[in-house]
């Protein structure tokens, strides 16, 4: 179901990786990149296909090199909570337990590196700098998770959408610089499941934000922020730059 590109096919994949400067892999010195490449398998996942299943044995870590995926948890009756969207440079599978704590599904064609758990652990022993980077990454995600708890527990629908739009406007821009115009690759349903709302409420709230002149749409998925300050005010002051 998931296309595996033998890593022998590409020579020196890590050395030429576009995503390296964005990811934890930059903790591995150039001369050692071969060792990293030796345990990595490049995987392509088509849009709509899942590549991590909650509850399954966690055999591997992943590092996204292109595309976007959603991470989510399900309740027995099918209610879904998306816990995050991940794109280029994002490291996946930190959970120490022996089973995955969430599922992951590509929402755009996705390319990522797959590292068998045991082998990466061994590698980490040799590159303490990479372990340090992982701790940094985990700490940042923890901060973002707390911010999301505040959103889910205490913000109104309008405030949630404002927060989400601002987060998306920073997505991919490395230094936290906010773009005024950007494409959201996820559906309204995904946004709803991320914000703890329904599709209808997301749609209605976006419509109202537009009629209130805070945002505009270039297309269904391309947003223009027309009033960044008003949107930030709405989002609840300084949303953490996580």
- Applying CB under 8 A, what is the total number of residues that bind its own copies? 42
Select the binding partner of residue 227 from DNA, its own copies, none (C-beta < 5 to 8 A, by kind). none
SS3 157: helix
Site string for its own copies, 88-117 (x = CB under 8 A): ------xxxx---xx---------------
CB 183 within 8 A of CB 222: yes
Beta bridge partners of 76: none
> How is residue 200 written in tokens?
């209808």
Q: Which of 58, 74, 129, 157 binds DNA (CB under 7 A)?
A: 157
SS3 182: strand
Terminal-residue alpha carbon distance, the chain: 33
> Angle at which helices 199-211 and 157-170 pack, to 10 degrees?
80
User: Which residue number, 6 or 153, has a Cβ lying nearer to its own copies?
Assistant: 153
Closest approach of its own copies to the CB of residue 23, in Å: 16
Give yes or no for residue 230 binding DNA (CB under 7 A): no
Residue spans of beta strands (DSSP E) within 143-241:
181-183, 215-217, 222-225
> How is residue 176 written in tokens?
């936290």
User: Which residue number, 92 or 202, has a Cβ lying nearer to DNA?
Assistant: 202
Give yes or no for residue 99 binding DNA (CB under 7 A): no
- Applying CB under 7 A, what is the total number of residues that bind DNA? 20
Give yes or no for residue 240 binding its own copies (CB under 8 A): yes
Give yes or no for residue 81 binding DNA (CB under 7 A): no
Concatenating the DSSP letter of every residue in 120-153 gives HHHHHHH-HHHHHHHHHHHHHHHHHHHHHHHHHH
User: Which residue number, 45 or 202, has a Cβ lying nearer to DNA?
Assistant: 202
> Angle at which helices 157-170 and 188-195 pack, to 10 degrees?
110
Q: Which of 111, 114, 155, 188 binds its own copies (CB under 8 A)?
A: 155
Residue 34's H or E segment, with its range, is helix 33-39
The alpha carbon of 135 is separated from its chain's Cα centroid by a whole number of angstroms, namely 17
Give yes or no for residue 226 binding DNA (CB under 7 A): no
User: What span, in angstroms and rounded, lies between the C-alpha atoms of 66 and 90?
Assistant: 10
Select the binding partner of residue 183 from DNA, its own copies, none (C-beta < 5 to 8 A, by kind). none
Give yes or no for residue 15 binding its own copies (CB under 8 A): no
Q: Which of 41, 203, 226, 227 binds DNA (CB under 7 A)?
A: 203
Contacting positions for DNA (CB under 7 A) = 156-158, 187-189, 196-204, 206-207, 217, 220-221
Q: Which residues bind its own copies (CB under 8 A)?
A: 71, 73, 75-76, 79-81, 83, 94-97, 101-102, 128, 131-132, 134-136, 138-143, 145-150, 152-155, 193, 195-196, 236-237, 240
């Amino acid at each position: 179901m998931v296309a595996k590109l033998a890593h022998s096919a590409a020579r020196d994949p890590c050395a030429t990786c576009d995503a390296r400067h964005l990811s934890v892999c930059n903790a591995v010195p150039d001369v050692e990149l071969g060792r990293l490449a030796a345990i990595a398998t490049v995987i392509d996942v088509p849009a709509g296909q899942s590549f991590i299943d909650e509850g399954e044995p966690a055999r591997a870590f992943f590092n996204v090199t292109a595309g976007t995926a959603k991470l989510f948890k399900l309740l027995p009756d099918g209610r879904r909570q998306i816990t995050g969207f991940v794109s280029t440079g994002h490291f996946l599978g930190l959970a120490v337990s022996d089973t995955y704590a969430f599922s992951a599904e590509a929402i755009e064609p996705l390319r990522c590196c797959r590292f068998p758990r045991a082998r990466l652990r061994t590698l980490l022993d040799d590159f303490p700098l990479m372990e340090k980077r992982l701790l940094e990454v985990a700490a940042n995600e923890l901060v973002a998770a707390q911010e999301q708890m505040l959103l889910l527990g205490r913000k109104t629908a309008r405030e949630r959408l404002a927060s989400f739009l601002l987060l998306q406007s920073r997505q991919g821009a490395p230094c936290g610089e906010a773009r005024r115009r950007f494409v959201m690759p996820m559906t309204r349903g995904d946004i709803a499941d991320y914000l703890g709302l329904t599709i209808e409420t997301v749609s209605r709230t976006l419509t109202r934000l537009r009629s209130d002149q805070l945002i505009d749409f270039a297309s269904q998925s391309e947003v223009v922020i027309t009033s960044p300050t008003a949107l930030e005010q709405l989002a609840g002051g300084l949303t953490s730059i996580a």
